[in-house]
């Protein structure tokens, strides 16, 4: 067996991703903070200080840059920027602008996400995405982010995983307390239409801020694999949960592909992974090549001319050697897609830090560990291994 390398395309993004609520801490004006402290919600543990990255973002960027990464995806928190309807905090806008400038000063290209799952409490009380006027309120917030993104930000993500937003809305309306054993709940159709409209309004707003910004959104790709004879069932199951959101990205500057595992579909619907399958800390099947399948499917649905960026990919594990093994398989799949001429313009791992994974800190996805008391950051061997590829400008192929 011989090893060769596939070079990155020109300008290839090589980095790691985070989300504000999951790392900043004390995001007290958000809907998630309220939910975490509501006993009826059944949240395992609250975010509290999280990784204290609101105060320690410079340490995070220093580590990523020193490891060899060239890009950093982070989000700005709507609940901080607009804590009350119509009141925009200039101090918070300045805070996130300092983060952009700090990334640039360290040689990290910032990708800024404008919405990553959380909304201000007032927006939830207003009725959320499906309330009359919600799209305009989101577009106004995006416009107010102009001082953050107008200069030095090449890539902006409007909304992270809108299909999961619609799925969670459907789950809430159904009254169910949890996800099924396999697959996803049915998305709420009204929410689907609303977040798509919000995305299109945000794209227009971002282009109005700076026409040179490349704007898109990111989709949670479940890698649906049809068993023989279940092709029509798979297509019907996939479309409202994934493809409608990919189709909505036509006309954008790029689309983000986010995948972690696969879902098999039989004639009766989703099938749980075998009992003897290796599972991650999130109980997902260990399936490193999922990202390759996700890229190929997204390219097929989106059609020609829409560049792809892997904006999240990784594994929740306490065994860092398995993290390296996972990334090795995933990157081999990415390299194979590049060999087949797919227009892939970047790869950003999830996550830069062990962080708050929406109810628990136990699902450790991070390349960098964080002490929960001192907040000391420690790069794992996987971080050095993955970051080194940013210096070599090559993906491994076996």
pLDDT digits (tens, 9 = 90+) for 372-386: 999 999 999 999 999
Q: Is residue 394 very low, low, confident or very high in pLDDT (cuts 50, 70, 90)? A: confident
pLDDT for position 175: 80
Tell me what percent of the residues of the chain surpass a pLDDT of 90. 93
How do residues 330-345 score in pLDDT, each as one tens digit?
A: 999 999 999 999 999 9
Domain annotation covers residue 106? yes
> Does residue 206 belong to any structural domain of this protein?
yes
Q: Is 91 exposed, middle or buried (0-12, 13-18, 19+ CB in 10 A)?
A: exposed
Based on the structure, what is the number of domains in the chain?
A: 1
Q: Which domain holds residue 104?
A: 4-221+311-324+344-397
Helices in the chain by DSSP H: which ranges?
20-23, 31-36, 53-67, 78-81, 90-105, 121-126, 134-144, 146-149, 162-174, 189-209, 231-238, 244-247, 290-302, 320-339, 381-392
Give the confidence band of 8 by pLDDT, cuts at 50, 70, 90: confident
Asked whether residue 318 is assigned to any structural domain, the reply reads yes
Percent of the chain with pLDDT over 70: 98
Task: Please confirm whether the linkage preceding 351 is cis (ω < 30° from 0).
Answer: yes
Classify residue 89: in a domain, yes or no.
yes
Cα 291-72-349 angle, rounded to 5 deg: 25
Q: Is residue 303 part of a domain?
A: no
CATH number of the domain that residue 17 is part of:
3.20.20.80
Q: Which residues contact 230 (CB under 8 A, 6 or more apart)?
A: 265, 266, 267
Q: What does residue 141 show for φ and ψ, rounded to 5 degrees?
A: -60, -45
Q: Residue 1 pLDDT more than 50?
A: no
- What value, to the nearest 5°, has the Cα angle with vertex 151 and ends 218 and 355? 45
Q: Is residue 387 domain-resident?
A: yes
Closest CA to 201 of 151, 253, 150, 159: 159
Does residue 265 lie within any of the structural domains? no
Provide long-range contacts, Cβ within 8 A and 24+ apart, for 36-42: 36/359, 42/177
Predicted local confidence at residue 398, as pLDDT: 54
Q: How far is CA 106 from the centre of its chain?
A: 23
Q: What is the mean pLDDT of residues 121-135?
A: 98
Decide the pairing of beta strands 155-160 and 214-220. parallel
Residue 182 domain-assigned? yes
Tokens describing residue 69: 């990464």
* Adjacent-strand bridge partners of 269: 266
Predicted TM-score (pTM) of the model is: 0.97
Q: pLDDT tens digits for 263-283?
A: 999 999 999 999 999 999 999
- Whether the per-residue pLDDT at 2 is higher than 70: the answer is no
Q: Which of 44, 43, 152, 35 is closest to 102 using CA atoms?
A: 152
Q: Which of 320, 325, 242, 317 is nearest to 288 (CA)?
A: 325
Which residue, among 358, 395, 398, has the nearest Cα to 9 in the 3D structure? 395
């Amino acid at each position: 067996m011989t090893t060769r390398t596939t070079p990155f395309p020109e300008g290839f993004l090589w980095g790691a991703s985070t989300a504000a609520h999951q790392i900043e801490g004390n995001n007290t004006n958000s809907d998630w903070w309220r939910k975490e402290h509501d006993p009826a919600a059944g949240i395992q543990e609250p975010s509290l200080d999280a990784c204290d990255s609101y105060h320690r973002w410079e340490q995070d960027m220093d580590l990523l840059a020193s490891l060899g990464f060239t890009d950093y995806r982070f989000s700005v928190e709507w609940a901080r920027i607009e804590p009350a309807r119509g009141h925009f905090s200039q101090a918070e806008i300045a805070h996130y602008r300092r983060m952009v400038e700090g990334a640039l000063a360290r040689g990290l290209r910032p990708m800024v996400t404008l919405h990553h799952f959380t909304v201000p409490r007032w927006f939830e009380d207003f009725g959320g995405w499906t309330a009359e006027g919600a799209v305009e309120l989101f577009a106004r917030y995006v416009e107010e982010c102009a001082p953050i993104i107008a200069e030095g930000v090449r890539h902006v993500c409007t909304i992270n995983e809108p299909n999961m937003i619609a799925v969670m809305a459907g789950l809430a309306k159904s009254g169910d307390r949890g996800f099924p054993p396999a697959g996803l709940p049915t998305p709420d159709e009204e929410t689907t239409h609303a977040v798509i409209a919000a995305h299109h309004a945000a794209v227009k707003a971002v282009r109005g801020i700076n026409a040179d910004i490349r704007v898109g959104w990111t989709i949670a790709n479940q890698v649906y694999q049809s068993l023989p004879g279940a092709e029509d069932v798979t297509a019907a199951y996939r479309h409202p949960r994934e493809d409608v959101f990919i189709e909505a990205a036509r006309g954008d500057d790029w689309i983000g592909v986010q995948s972690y595992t696969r879902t098999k579909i039989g004639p009766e619907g989703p099938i749980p992974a075998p009992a003897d399958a290796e599972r991650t800390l999130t109980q997902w099947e260990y399936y490193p090549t999922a990202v390759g399948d996700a890229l190929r499917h997204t390219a097929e649905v989106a059609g020609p001319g829409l560049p792809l960026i892997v904006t999240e990919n990784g594994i929740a594990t306490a065994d860092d050697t398995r993290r390296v093994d996972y990334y090795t398989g995933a990157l081999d799949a990415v390299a194979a897609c590049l060999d087949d001429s797919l227009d892939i313009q970047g790869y950003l791992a999830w996550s830069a830090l062990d962080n708050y994974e929406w109810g628990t800190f136990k699902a450790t996805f991070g390349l960098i560990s964080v002490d929960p008391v001192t907040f000391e950051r420690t790069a794992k061997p996987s971080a050095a291994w993955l970051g080194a590829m940013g210096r070599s400008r090559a993906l491994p192929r076996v």
